[in-house]
Amino acid sequence: MIHQEFFNKLVNVMTSETYLEGVKKARAEYIKIAGEVFEDDTSFEMRMTSFLEWYILAHPIKTKNKTPLKIYLDEYNASIKDEEREFFSGLVNTIHSVFEIKGQKKEFLKIRDLFSMENYLVTEDNINHTFRKGDILEAKVFPFKGKYFFSNAFCFHPKKAGKFISSELKKMKKNNNPDISDFILKLSYMNLKWERARGIDAKEIYR
């Protein structure tokens, strides 16, 4: 992630002793939907990263009814420098969805949000993953300095699950349901089950 040092600073504050109880409660809520991951799971580190981003960017702390990111921006406003503020403002506008890789254009990846059907050009700077046309993945995309960037967490879904995912997202859009966050976490759980049982056809799990 671009400006990883800014994000690390935010995480260190919002997972400190003051907020530790909130982190534990958020973790319990996350596990209920996305499943519990163990150290011997192949994707353990990535899923821990995914939880941390979800907690910081999307999960409101009930006592304040704000996400940890917004609490940080409010309570530490005076100490935040301009570059950090611009970065965090981009994170506030994060798009968390399921995307399809449509191709490459110079130094950018062209991706399509399978819920909104909007296309984005995402810079490949600071990305340590190999993407292929047709890949279907859960990701978070945020704007910064006129460009779009990925966060650190990804969940690559099998291509055989694409039809199911697209169909479910279309139903949600048709029913005017703009909040797909729980569905994304359910997909993460399906992906975890598929990861643990690779001999099973993905269509038997993604349904």
Give residue-wise pLDDT tens across range 46-93.
Answer: 999 999 999 999 999 888 889 999 999 999 989 999 999 999 999 999
Instruction: Answer whether residue 100 shows pLDDT above 90.
Output: yes
Q: Identify the band that residue 5 occupies on the pLDDT scale cut at 50, 70 and 90.
A: very high
Q: How many CB atoms lie within 10 A of CB 193?
A: 14
Which residue shows structure tokens 């047709």?
Answer: 134
pLDDT value of position 165: 98
Query: How far is 178 from 163, CA to CA, in rounded Å?
Result: 20
Half-sphere exposure of 181 (CA within 13 A, CB side): 14
Q: How many CB atoms lie within 10 A of CB 103?
A: 12
Q: What percent of the chain has pLDDT over 90?
A: 84
